[in-house]
Chains A and B, each alone.
Chain A
Amino acid sequence: MFFQQLINGLAAGSIYAMVALGYTMIYGILGIINFAQGEIYMAGAYAAVMLIGALHIGFFPAFALALVVAAAVGVLMERLAFRPLRNLNPLIPLIAAIGVSICLQDVARLLFGPDKRPFPIKIELEPFILFGNQIPALEIYVLITASILMTALYLFINKTKYGKAIVASASDGETARLMGINVDTMITLTFIIGSIMSGAAGVLMAIEYNTYPSMGVLPGLKAFSAAILGGVGSIPGAIIGGLIIGVAENLGAAYIMSGLKDAVAFAILIIMLIVKPSGIMGKRS
């Protein structure tokens, strides 16, 4: 029971972690809370469902194309809504992001209808047996996929020239510009990477759960809590924060009260912010 809940929590947590990476990277480089991150997750899920269901594309090519769609939505969002609002009080882009999120949900509703859509193909997998517990195979694959993507991101940020340029732009945009880094390109790149992570999370969730226009709202908020919990701007922090929230809410639902599941993430967040506002991995600012 406990072990099963732990795996459930880790799988949910790795989804939150992937969305949280988008939040934390965008917050790091622009200092804004992109409230529409959950809608990129939704766009990824819809892209996969429609590509497989309507165009009968295989699962893996559809997955890859869904990531492209998610990245395109992210880039468009940055160009149209966030670029004109740079250097303003952060509350202004925050509200613009809310506007974008309302728009995208409505676009999804108009294009695909308000109904919930199941994943068009059944993926039958034998459950794993671990320490005498049956673990759904999908959760293991979610964990594996998330780990691969997060490792790739970690290597990209730390080992490549572009990754270092993103870090430089995030820590001091003006100096980065003086060093010959095109900060605008780095911001676009950040949106691309963040959107790919969120879009992938959306596809992984769409396999097991239904896809619908407002599906991104709650995971988006929890992922944001995860980003703050881990220390906003910190990539390992977002991962740790996501896993903690996923595990805590699953254990909380199993052992305390299932109705309060969605409140757990925010309760942890509030306690954390009061005790250590900079987050687990964050530096004092």
Chain B
Amino acid sequence: MIDLILHLLLFASIYVVLTLSLNLIIGFTGQVSLGHAAFFGIGAYMGSVMVTYMDLPYILSFFFAFCAAGVVGVLLGLPTLRLRDDYLAIVTLGFGIIIEIVILNIDYLGGPDGIFGIPSPVIAGKKLTSKLDFLIFNWTIMGLTILFMYRLTRSRVGRALAAIRDDELTAQVMGINTTKYKILAFGLGAAFAGAAGSLYGSYIHYIQPQNFGLSASILVLCMVVIGGMGSIPGSIIGALILFLLPEIIRYLPGIIKFVAEHLNPGSVADYQKISAIADYQNLIYGAALVLLLIVRPQGLMGKYRVK
């Protein structure tokens, strides 16, 4: 049970970093990206290849995962960031799908089998072995990311990004180099997603292309929008809710059974009947998503105008 909770907290921190990175692009800068999991994947593969196949130190691979995803983000941003919002959404969507298919077809990266046996990170001479070690490391990275995002939004750059989001033309007239700042935000967002990817690979010890496909991109996008675009606490909450919701639905029958049998010792809860809930997981998930958007389109914590 403790192990499971540690595992969930660990995984949640990876999603928080990933969601914050997308929030930087969508929420702070107003640029839509539907292929964000591709950067997550690029970081994961970069980091994993460096530690697994090349025996390089983890910190170096983490740094390279961050940079590789960032560079790809800038390269994708250069020609595409002048497109209109919804077209940008489609280009990034296509990009995400292409990256998944390309990785599937590269033998060095394991094709559909992916990379396995990724070693645990060694930080300052200490190998991370227990879940608690991982938790401390991942939460440190998450804390630094949150701090970075807070500092960024309150800086000159952050105000420039907000100006671009609210009215690009006016921002340009005020002397902001909109293209430069948009590419900066896109590159930084991609880089942090790459960092999250590196964390993911080193914790799970196994990655495959399907982890970084369209459904992952959509999940992260939902986390940002549900939490509220442009809100840092929103992104954290959005990531936690959407990550934990399916887990809760999955473990709910077990929890109900556990509680019922403890409240009323001797009785045996009808497990079969309770576990039927888990069967409706996606249905509940999809319906909850639509319902929440109808009731609160700006997201749980969002202040950003949605009109």
Contacts and interface: CB of A to CB of B under 8 A. Distances in A.
Interface of A: 33, 80-81, 84-85, 87-92, 94-96, 98-107, 109-110, 217, 221, 224-225, 228, 257, 259-260, 262-263, 265-267, 269-270, 273-274, 277, 285
A33 B157 CA distance: 31
B302 to A, nearest CB: 11
A273 B306 contact: no
B90 A81 contact: no
Given A98-B218, A224-B90, A262 B97 contact: yes
A90 B85 contact: yes
22 contacts: A33-B86, A33-B89, A87-B307, A89-B297, A89-B306, A91-B26, A92-B297, A96-B293, A99-B222, A99-B287, A103-B286, A104-B286, A106-B280, A110-B280, A224-B90, A257-B105, A260-B102, A260-B105, A262-B97, A266-B93, A274-B80, A285-B84
Q: Is the interface of A mostly helix, strand, loop or mixed?
A: helix
Contacts of A106: 280-283, 286
B249 interface: no
B184 to A, nearest CB: 20
Contacts of A89: 297, 305-307
A85 B280 contact: no
B90 A269 contact: yes
Contacts of B104: 259
B75 to A, nearest CB: 12
B32 A96 contact: no
A89 B85 CA distance: 10
Most buried by A among B80, B104, B105, B282: B282
A217 B95 CA distance: 16
B3 interface: no
Contacts of A267: 94, 98
Interface of B: 26, 32, 79-80, 83-87, 89-91, 93-95, 97-98, 101-102, 104-105, 214, 218, 221-222, 225, 229, 279-283, 285-290, 293-294, 297, 305-307
B91 A273 contact: yes
Nearest to B78: A274
Nearest to A105: B282
Contacts of A217: 214
A103 B283 contact: yes
A94 B95 CA distance: 18
Nearest to B76: A270
A266 B289 contact: no
B289 A101 contact: no
A84 B294 contact: yes
Nearest to B99: A263
Nearest to B221: A95
A102 to B, nearest CB: 3
Contacts of A90: 85-86
A270 B91 contact: yes
Contact of B94 (A96, A101, A225): A225
A84 to B, nearest CB: 4
Nearest to B84: A277
Contact of A85 (B101, B282, B287, B293): B293
A101 B285 CA distance: 11
B27 to A, nearest CB: 10
A106 B281 CA distance: 9
Contacts of A104: 286
A104 B282 CA distance: 9
Contact of A95 (B86, B91, B222, B281): B222
A225 to B, nearest CB: 7
A185 B40 CA distance: 43
A92 B221 CA distance: 11
Contacts of B279: 110
B97 A221 contact: yes
Given A92-B297, A96-B289, A99-B290, A274 B79 contact: yes
Nearest to B222: A95
B202 to A, nearest CB: 28
Contact of A103 (B93, B94, B101, B290): B290
Q: What 9 A-B pairs come out closest when comparing CB atoms?
A: A266-B94, A99-B289, A102-B286, A103-B286, A106-B282, A99-B290, A106-B283, A263-B101, A89-B306
A218 to B, nearest CB: 9
A267 B101 CA distance: 11
Contacts of B97: 221, 262-263, 266
A90 B293 CA distance: 12
A101 B283 CA distance: 10
B297 A85 contact: yes
B234 to A, nearest CB: 14
A273 B90 contact: yes
A130 B279 CA distance: 50
